[in-house]
Structure 1
Amino acid sequence: MPKPVKYKHKFTQQVVWGEMDAFGHVNNVTYVRYFESARADYFTKEGLWDSPSKPVKGGPVLTHLDMDYRKQVVFPATLEITLEVDSISSRAFTVVCSMWNENEECVLTGNAAFVWFDFELQKPSALPDHFKTKFGRDHLV
């Protein structure tokens, strides 16, 4: 696994008791929800969609998710989730993420791939100009 990195966008996630499993640690699928919450916060704050709660013509649709679990997390805990857009192409982009415990230990690294999807036409479409402008040529693949 590559060395973990702290990314630009930060999101705080409280671990709740009900997220623990029979083995006494946070269940692995819970981290998927944590990543989802952090991404929704990121997309909203960066203006990448009008609103996550109302239908829009197009938006990001998850096509792939990859996570490396590095350390157990138990209740009570507060995680710092950091993420940013890693690369973009004409219709797709990836977001990288790292999660950190209170001791500054990386507990998870992950990445998610998205395609921009036209909900009216029901097919992938070009990334909007504001998205390309926001993340610029530095991230193009």
Structure 2
Amino acid sequence: MRHHYSCPLRWSDMDSFGHVNNVVFLRYLEEARVDFMFRLAREAAPDAFTSGAVVARHEIDYLRPLVHRHEPVEVETWLTKISTASITVGYEIKDATTVYARAATVVVPYDLDLGRPRRLSEAERTFLEPYLDDTCHVPASPHAR
């Protein structure tokens, strides 16, 4: 199963070269991940991720330039790995005809009160497991051999 997030493009997302700046892609990933983990997960399990989660790693392959337009892009999200104390989120930023970027983020459940990583709860794991697709690892660089 995949999570689909419709992400609007903003005029301010463009850089001096006339396309969406590479740093803005991280914002698009964040918006989709927050919608997935903090809206959708909490609808399924109200206590999911309430104590926090932190990003441990990002990896992005930029495949095509994205220019400003009125139509949103879709950020498709799934999991490529679930362990006891982390998840790896896979993404594609795309529209109907083009994939603009593929990315991966390692997220660690975190206890904000104690200031340390924690294990996934059973409710979190139950919510996450349908989104696991460990056959589709990203990024898949076009330059990889």
Normalised TM-score (structure 1) = 0.81
Tell me the CA shift for residue 104 of structure 1.
Answer: 1.9
Structure 1 residue 97 corresponds to structure 2 residue 87 = no
Aligned match of 1:25 in 19, 32, 36?
19
Distance 1:49 1:39, change over 3 A: farther
Aligned match of 1:68 in 61, 67, 82?
61
In structure 2, runs of 5+ residues without a counterpart are: 135-145
In structure 1, runs of 5+ residues without a counterpart are: 1-6
Find the aligned partners of 1:138 and 1:84 in 2 and give their Cα distance.
Answer: 5
Find the aligned partners of 1:130 and 1:61 in 2 and give their Cα distance.
Answer: 18
Spell out the pairing of 1:109-124 with structure 2 (5 A cutoff).
109-124=102-117
Cα pair 1:98 1:110 within 8 Å, conserved: yes
In structure 2, give the amino acid aligned to 1:61. Answer: V
Aligned match of 2:75 in 70, 77, 81?
81
Q: What does residue 41 of structure 1 align with?
A: 35
Q: What does residue 4 of structure 1 align with?
A: none
Distance 1:70 1:92, change over 3 A: same
Q: Cα deviation per residue 1:76-124 (whole Å; 9 max; x = unaligned)?
A: 14211100122111111111000113x4210000000011111111111
Tell me the CA shift for residue 49 of structure 1.
Answer: 6.6
Tell me the CA shift for residue 15 of structure 1.
Answer: 1.1
Tell me the CA shift for residue 50 of structure 1.
Answer: 5.1
Across the aligned residues of Structure 1 and Structure 2, the Cα RMSD in angstroms comes to 2.4
Find the aligned partners of 2:94 and 2:105 in 1 and give their Cα distance.
Answer: 18
Alignment: residue pair count? 129
Structure 1 residue 8 corresponds to structure 2 residue 2 = yes
Find the aligned partners of 1:105 and 1:114 in 2 and give their Cα distance.
Answer: 27
Cα pair 2:48 2:124 within 8 Å, conserved: no
